[in-house]
Amino acid sequence: MVNLFIEFWHLTDPNVVWVLSGAILLGSSTGVLGSFLFFRKRSLIGDALAHAALPGVMSAFILFQTRDPFVILGGAIVSCFIGFFFIDYMVKHTKIKEDSALAIVLSLFFAIGIFELTYIQKLDIADKSGLDKILFGQAAALVQSDVIILGIAALLSLTIVVLFYDRLRLITLDRQFAQSLGINVPFYELLLTFAIVLSVVIGLQIFGVVLMAAALLFPVAAGRYWSDSLPCILMLCALFGAISGAASANISYLAPQMPTGPWMVVTLSLIFFISMCFAPNRGALMRYLRTTRNRNKTHDENLLRTFYVICERLSSYHESLAPEQVLSVRNMGTNALRKSIKRLLKHGMIERDNTLYRLTEKGLNEAEKITRYHRLWELYLTNRANIPAQMVHDSAENVEHVLTPELEHRISDELGTPVQDPHGRVIPSSDPFVGGIRS
């Protein structure tokens, strides 16, 4: 097995090179075109279109009795378009809903295709074997002439995307706006549909009818986790599609009797799973880390503020406090308290005094800042948002952790640089020499 693997990647066998390039091109084009379906929330139509291509392939074979790729491709494209227009008709002109329209075309066209396939298998025609490979795909069955045609078709659909990128993007994101600008929306939609149908149809030989939808869907679903910018996502789609194409070609080489389609899906699933978990910002792992970091920040800042509040009552900021005193004012788990104290010590916000703790200069500044945020927000809510004074504390408890100096300035300006909060307490000023407990 390992030998075969290495042999494959030496790329000495010309057939390998052809199949590999074909698969890569196919993978990228379907990945890119699939994203346009994704952003219009119509990912499942890819599935319906893939199944709709089957009767075209079979009919072409029955009519022309040849496996010539042009003929097969042509048949597939025709039946795919018929399927597309049938869906469109049902949705626009009958009470049939979109999900049903998709399922009807998917299953009906597929049934017609299967009917023809089983009929063909009983006939005595040369060349009929291997037609069923189109159900699950078989990269290994590709020959050079196939690949050339597929490659050209793939390049064609990619070219359409590149040439008309701006229009297509606008139509995908805001169709009505595009229309209002006088853009010929139906024309571009038809063009896009043509490119999608083309990608679907050429992908069939490698990915198979049944699982083709995945080649359209997974790359963009994965790419979405990495970026917000459309060009970036499209490149990722091409990349992920190419990887899955290469992997499929590889696996088909290692085990020619195995269908390629399922392995394409497994490869893409892996990519998707990794993206979902580990992508920066959107990935699950990053979100988890961020949540933990924020929770710790909340605990630490709460602790600092509690120190400040107790000190304020005692009119002296150098008071050393025991953990029990803190707990009497703020409800905190003892475990959380312990961890918070450790973190604050580490950052030099508090210092030890035998068994007690007190604020450092740095800690005092920070505590004052948080308290300022808290009380400013309370004032904002009562003055501007008409919320009664007894209700503002809870909100401020949350908001104090998310304000920034810039936001603080805006709030302060809007309130006219106030001095007192709704409960009559002093709002520590940002200038350490005015107000507060140090004057």
Partner 1 sequence: MTHELWILAIACLMGISCALVGALMVLRKMAMIGDALSHTVLLGLVLAFMITGSRSITVMFMGAILVGLITVFLTDFLNRMGKLQKDASIGIVFTFLFAVAVILISVYTGEIDIDQDHLLYGEIAFAPFDTIEWNGRDIGPRAFWMLLLVAIANLVFITVGYRYLQAIAFNASLAAALGMTVNLIHYALMTMVSLTTVSSFEAVGAILVVAMLVIPANTAYLISKSMYSMIILSVLFAIAASISGYYLAVWADASISAAIAMMAGFIFILVLVFFSPDSLLHRIKQSRPIQCP
Partner 2 sequence: MNNPKLMQMAEKRKKTVLKVDSLTMHYHHKPVLSDVNFSIPEGKSVAIVGPNGAGKSTLLKGMMGLIPTASGKVSFFGEALKKKRLAVAYVPQREEIDWDFPINVFDVVLMGRYGKLSLFSRPNANDRAIVEQALEQVGMQEFSQRQISQLSGGQQQRVFLARALAQHASIYLMDEPFAGVDMATEKAIITLFRELQMAGKTIICVHHDLNTVPDYFDWALMVNARLIAAGPTEEVFTPDNLNKTYNGRLALLTEVTERLHKFG
| Six token digits for residue 245 | 């194409």
Residue 411 contact among partner 1, partner 2, none, beta carbon within 5 to 8 Å by kind: partner 2
Is 218 near partner 1 (CB under 8 A)?
yes
**Minimal distance in Å, beta carbon 414 to partner 2?**
7
Smallest gap from Cβ 135 to partner 1, in A, equals 6
The CA distances from residue 240 to 32, 213, 217, 234, 259, in Å, are 10, 15, 11, 10, 20
Q: Region of 264 please: left (phi>0), alpha (psi -120 to 50) or beta.
A: alpha
Q: Does 276 bind partner 1 (CB under 8 A)?
A: yes
* Residue 386 touching partner 2 (CB under 8 A): yes
Closest distance of CB 23 from partner 1, Å:
17
Query: CB-based burial of residue 352 (10 Å sphere; 0-12 exposed, 13-18 middle, 19+ buried)?
Result: exposed
In this structure, what token pair is assigned to residue 436? 């507060």
Q: How far apart are the first and last CA of the chain?
A: 80
Write the interaction track for partner 2 spanning residues 14-53; mark x where CB under 8 A is met and - where it is not: ----------------------------------------
Q: How far is the CB of 279 from partner 2 (least distance, A)?
A: 17
Q: How many CB atoms lie within 10 A of CB 254?
A: 17
Binds partner 1 by CB under 8 A, chosen from 18, 36, 81, 136: 136
- Please identify, using beta-carbon distances, which residue of 43 and 193 lies nearer to partner 1: 43
Q: Select from partner 2, partner 1, none the partner in contact with residue 403, using the beta carbon and a kind-dependent cut-off of 5 to 8 Å.
A: partner 2
List the x/- string, 290-319, binding to partner 2 by CB under 8 A: xx--x-------------------------
Q: At what angle do helices 212-223 and 260-278 cross, to 10 degrees?
A: 20
Indicate the residue type of 146: D
- For 321, which DSSP code? B
Report the residue from 266, 345, 387, 437 that binds partner 2 according to the rule CB under 8 A: 387
Among 300, 399, 421, 422, binds partner 2 (CB under 8 A): 399
Out of 87, 210, 321, 403, point to the residue binding partner 1 (CB under 8 A). 210
Site for partner 1 in 82-101 (CB under 8 A): 90, 93-100
Please choose which of partner 2, partner 1, none residue 258 contacts, taking the beta carbon within 5 to 8 angstroms, the exact cut-off set by kind: partner 1
203 within 8 A of 49, measured Cβ to Cβ: no
**CB atoms closer than 10 angstroms to residue 350:** 27
Q: Tell me how far, at minimum, the Cβ of 423 lies from partner 2, in Å.
A: 17
Q: Is 274 in the site for partner 1 (CB under 8 A)?
A: no
| Distances in whole angstroms, Cα of residue 345 to Cα of each of 194, 317, 329 | 65, 17, 20
Which residues have CB under 8 Å from 185's CB, separation 6+?
171, 175, 178, 179
x-or-dash string of contact with partner 1, 33-52, rule CB under 8 A = -----x--xxxx-xx---x-
* Residue 115 lies near partner 1 (rule: CB under 8 A): yes
Count of positions on this chain that bind partner 1 (CB under 8 A): 57
Which of helix, strand or coil describes residue 309? helix
The residue among 227, 237, 201 whose CA lies nearest residue 38 is 237
Q: Cβ of residue 265: shortest distance to partner 1, in angstroms? A: 4
Residue with tokens 């503020």: 305
Q: Is 119 in the site for partner 1 (CB under 8 A)?
A: yes
CB neighbour list of residue 156: distance below 8 Å, 6 or more residues apart: 195, 198
Stretch that binds partner 2, among 122-130, 171-179, 263-271, 408-416 (CB under 8 A): 408-416
Rule CB under 8 A: which of 239-298 touch partner 2? Answer: 290-291, 294
User: Which amino acid appears at position 196 of this protein?
Assistant: I
DSSP string, 254-274: H-TTS-HHHHHHHHHHHHHHH
Q: Which residue, 209, 206, 204, 264, is CA-closest to 240? A: 264
394 binds partner 2 (CB under 8 A): yes
Alpha carbon 102 to chain centroid distance?
24
Q: Provide the CB-side half-sphere exposure for 179 (13 A, CA).
A: 6
Residue among 134, 344, 411, 427 that touches partner 2 (CB under 8 A): 411
**Residue ranges in contact with partner 1 by CB under 8 A:** 38, 41-44, 46-47, 51, 90, 93-100, 102-104, 106-108, 110-112, 114-119, 122, 132, 135-136, 210-211, 213-214, 217-218, 221, 224, 257-259, 261-263, 265-266, 269, 272, 276, 282, 284
